[in-house]
Each structure stands twice: as C-alpha cells, then as structure tokens.
Amino acid sequence: MIQTEEETRDGWRVVNVSGRADAEAADALESVLRAAIEANDKVAASFASLDYISSAGIRALLQAARAAQTRGSEFAVCGLSEPVRRVFDMSGLQHVLNIHGVLPC
C-alpha cells in the first residue's frame, strides 16, 4: 500500500509517496503520478518516506516518466529513502530518470 500527498513547492508539483510501492500499489502510483503530470509542467515524486519498491513499482514509475516525456513535462524523482536508493542504484535508474537528492529539484 502507498499513501500520497501533494504540494506545490518552487513551481514544482511534488507528490510525496510513502509506504510500499509493490505490485498491489503499482497502478495507484502510476495513476497518481500521471494525473499530476497531466495537470502540471513540472512534477517531482518524493520517495523520502517510501520504504520499499519492487519491479512492478519501478515499472509504474518508468511509465509515468514516459508519459511526462510524451507530454513534454519535466519529471524528477527526489529524496530517495535508503532502501529505495539501493534498488535504484542496482537498477541504474539514474541513467533513465532525473534523480535529485533533495527538494527543491
């Protein structure tokens, strides 16, 4: 399960995601990010409170990033928690996504 909260900071729509981004939560994650991307030109997913991300969660994130690319929006991932950073490092997601250490992006 994931929980999401949104706020606007320095021109970015920030989607704060917490909990576990696994197969059960993947659709919800993709859909909340896509909705933010549809409505904003600059969107950041903050994973500072995300405890876990599985392959399904990564795929959801990539498809949201793909939607942003298609729309011409800026999309970034910020503030990775330690367990999520380990997964990102192993997957090499920094080569595909804009990843920033801290907000604002």
Binding mask 69-98 for another protein (x = CB under 8 A): x----------------xx--xxxx-xx--
Q: What's the min distance (Å) between Cβ of 102 and another protein? A: 24
Q: How many residues of this chain bind another protein (CB under 8 A)?
A: 23
CA distance 32 to 85: 21
Looking at residue 1, what DSSP letter applies? -
What does the binding site for another protein look like in residue numbers (CB under 8 A)? 22-24, 52-56, 58-59, 62-63, 65-66, 69, 86-87, 90-93, 95-96
